[in-house]
Structure 1
Amino acid sequence: IAPRQFDFRELKHVYDWIEVYGLDEEAVLELVSHCMDQKGRRVSVNYIDAVARSWSEAGVWTRDAARAHLAKYELKKHGASEILRQWNKQRKPTKAETAFYDKWVTEWGFTPEAIISALPKLTVSGTPNFVYLDELLENLLKEGQTSQPEMERADAKTAEEQAFARLVFERAGKLEPATRTQRAQISMYLRDYAMPRELLLFGAEQCKGANEPFGMMKKLWNDWHDAGITSIEAARARMESKPQGFNAKPKKVDYAQNELTDEQINRILVDLDKDIL
């Protein structure tokens, strides 16, 4: 059987692969050849026995089934190996790493190109690994990004949001970049509220110099949205129609002063040199 020679004790295992595990003789040839590729010519019979058991449990009993199974295995192995190569790791993938890759492709529906495209998104403080990548891909799966075109569209959308948010903050006089939450909120006014970009920028300009410009921006934008305002002219008119403008400060209250006569003052003064009974 293949180039691997089996002694008398090992032949019992060979018979088990056929009689117990249900592999036909051609499948056994594929089995031994595969195990030798993995472990070399002196591969142990116990290793082959373990692989034979896994094949039987997976329903791999014929030569055609074995070849299809091995083709799938090589695809997973190649994909996991490519990830390691991208990380400059010169080694073969472990069984656990291959299992991760199989889950991403088979269960989650990621394309091999999408997995490679996701690698630059992996920002971790330590060395990148399959566990961190699994968490990243799970998040992308929830966002519906399982192919390279879907990821590219999402990346383009993110870049557009960042650029517009940066412009909004510049108009408001804010130097720090917008957070992810702030970018999402700005996008909400564009996408969900369908407010024109120039109107949002005009609102940002009105909040320049405020202590909390972004909070004031949202208050202004919400007011315009509720009023159905979609142009700068209408927004300016609404601001002018409000008492003292939109950013009016509370009116100072002048409290009446109580003017006392000299006689009244003398009555309430206490001579500290005298004892108070």
Structure 2
Amino acid sequence: MESSMSGKWVITVLAWLIYGFLLAPTLVVVIASFNAGAFLTFPPQGLSFRWYNTFFHNRVFLDAIETSLYVALIATGVSGIISTMAALYAARSTPSVSGAVRLALTLPLILPEVLSAIGLLFFFYATGLGVRYSIALVFGHVLITLPFIYINVSNALRGFDWSWEMAARSLGASPVRAFRRVTFPLILPGIMNGCLFAFIASFDSFSTSFLLKDIGTATLPIQLFDYLRLNFTPEAAAVSTVTVAVTTFLVFVMEKFILPTSLDEKEK
């Protein structure tokens, strides 16, 4: 009994040490964002909100955030539709077809992102489309976000009893109505989880955005990169802290409000 308790304590301490190691860089950035000095240093030279005020009045960073949100929302929406349809098709198919679909949809997660971006860059210029109007940028973000939603929806469909949908069809429901009233509520938590991961992956993507953006367009990671090449002020830490706070808030809202509601509907 004592050895079991001591083993649990060792595992708990080890887990906290790992969490601390992973969160330490983020904590350093958050603390450095309140630096009252003129340069990004740690520990900070006094505490101040001056760099947050500078950030919220910096139109360049605000435009970059708007661009990142625009691209991430469109990419998440498009990849959500494609991945959900592909997961439903794979779940109803033979194992060989299901395996082929899974490989195709998860391949962008296996390949290095920079190689996928270079391949898309060659493709768009070879077809004469180029990278105008952010079409290539959105297409690239759709490609890198597909695996996140597909994997989550596939896991939600694992063990799904298709007889429930067939029962709704036998009672007179159309295929669309049966999907909307039976299948969709059951896989909604998987879709929401996948879309959250996809949105974060798109918002934080650097390689794809850097290679596929058109002239005059800059997402937040690119703007931060350009800024830090010429400046080293705590404003960059303030931008990063706001991004972390928004991401944490989205995850909190998802876990506390959206997913419990979806699970309650699923149980009903």
TM class by shorter chain equals under 0.3
Larger radius of gyration: 1
TM-score (norm 2): 0.18
Taking structure 1 as the reference length, the TM-score comes to 0.18
Higher RCO (CA 8 Å, separation ≥ 6 residues): 2
Judging by fraction of residues, say which structure has more helix: 2
